[in-house]
Amino acid sequence: MDQDSHCTAERELLEAVSRITTSSTTSPSDKEENQPRAEISCQVRKENPEKDDMQDSSATLSPNSSMTTKELQEYWRNEKRQCKQIKLLFEIPSTRIVEHHLSKYVMYKIIILQTGSFDSNKSVIERRYSDFEKLHRNLQEEFSEELEDVTFPKKTLTGNFTEEIINERKLAFKDYLRLLYSMKYIRRSKKFIDFLTRPELQEAYGCLRGGQYTKALEILLEVIGLQERLTRGNPVAIVPTLCAIVVCHKDLENPASAFEYGERALSRLCVHTSHRYYMPLLETMITLAYELGKDFLSLQEKLEEWKTKKDPIRVFTLKELAVREYVR
């Protein structure tokens, strides 16, 4: 407020403008800010109780004195990025009919775009009607009240493969995904994120377990961008995927690329040293740093420091951890 102004009317006007500005800038990252406080509190309670997917890391984390300058810089970069919510758009441009033995179904091609980005940032996945149906059923278990007025396209006894029905469902599923994503407590839920990423991750980890590292790496690199955008408020959530990429690059004898992704994973664990991937990742990074002629002493110091604070327990290697992910 202008301290030089002695005009009562002007002072009152400035106070009013200040109140309006404060109100309009609260929680700029979401559209739900205009809802009543009671409803917002309810939404927070309704969010998935699994903390690794629902909790904003910036609310509980703080840098510590043991970080290097580089780690501190990366930490604050992550914190800054978390303040900017990424908006995603969903398009379903085409479908294909699949006939497999005695079954027949329609696969819907879903393109997920980041607003204001180039095509290189898009993700492409395919889902069938039963996948959407399962998602809706799972979400209703936790968000039944929020989904009360959401219409889900029902199956018909006949005509499921006609062009008219397929086109209707393309539009319906597009609107359905857009509506789910518009609700903060649903778009952050593990069930919604799994719908968009889990099938591809399961395939990738299956290839990794089978020693098909090139194929596994190809899938992981396609899904990591989408997974990162969906879990923006929780950077630790993508650590397993980053570490799986490290394992693939390492086994494909690409140590430089493995080290690059290892640094990305390690930067997300700098304040999560109790994470199950932390020690195995450090051990792998020490090996890679030595092989590449990089500084490994600082990594070795962190490993020794971790060992002095933790009880000696059986710890898996990074590869052993990776192959255990998404095991049914």
Q: What does the pLDDT average to over 114-133?
A: 85
Q: Are residues 249 and 307 in the same domain?
A: yes
Question: What CA–CA distance (Å, rounded) separates 61 from 58?
Answer: 5
Q: What does the pLDDT average to over 120-144?
A: 93
Range with lowest mean pLDDT among 16-20, 140-144, 293-297:
16-20
Question: How many domains, in total, are found in the chain?
Answer: 2
The arrangement of strands across the sheet holding 103-114 comes to 88-100, 103-114, 123-128
Q: Which of 153, 188, 223 is the last residue of a domain?
A: 188
Q: What does the pLDDT average to over 29-54?
A: 39
Using the predicted structure, report yes or no on whether residue 234 has a pLDDT greater than 70: yes
Range with lowest mean pLDDT among 78-82, 201-205, 234-238, 293-297:
78-82
Range with lowest mean pLDDT among 42-46, 128-132, 322-326:
42-46
Sign of CA dihedral 87, 184, 227, 205: negative
pTM to 2 decimal places = 0.73
The C-alpha angle 240, 127, 219, rounded to 5 degrees, equals 35
pLDDT at site 116: 72
15 within some domain: no
> Contact 323/208 with Cβ under 8 angstroms?
yes
Q: What is the CATH number of the domain that holds 160?
A: 3.30.1520.10
Q: Are residues 156 and 233 in the same domain?
A: no
Using the predicted structure, report yes or no on whether residue 208 has a pLDDT greater than 80: yes
Q: What mean pLDDT, rounded, does the chain reach?
A: 80
Smallest CA-to-CA distance from 220 within 237, 195, 203 is with 203
Using the predicted structure, report yes or no on whether residue 118 has a pLDDT greater than 70: no
Q: What percent of the chain has pLDDT over 70?
A: 72
Q: Which domain holds residue 223?
A: 199-324
pLDDT at site 120: 65
Question: What CA–CA distance (Å, rounded) separates 212 from 200?
Answer: 15
Q: What is the CATH number of the domain that holds 292?
A: 1.25.40.10
Q: Which of 188, 209, 229 is the last residue of a domain?
A: 188
Q: Which of 188, 213, 242 is the last residue of a domain?
A: 188
pLDDT at site 201: 97
2 within some domain: no
Give 156's pLDDT tier (boundaries 50, 70, 90): confident
Question: What CA–CA distance (Å, rounded) separates 238 from 219?
Answer: 14
210 within some domain: yes
150 within some domain: yes
Q: Are residues 257 and 314 in the same domain?
A: yes
298 within some domain: yes
37 within some domain: no
Phi-psi bin for 116: left (phi > 0), alpha (psi -120 to 50), beta? left
pLDDT at site 157: 73
Q: What percent of the chain has pLDDT over 90?
A: 58
Question: What CA–CA distance (Å, rounded) separates 78 from 72?
Answer: 10
Q: Are residues 224 and 312 in the same domain?
A: yes
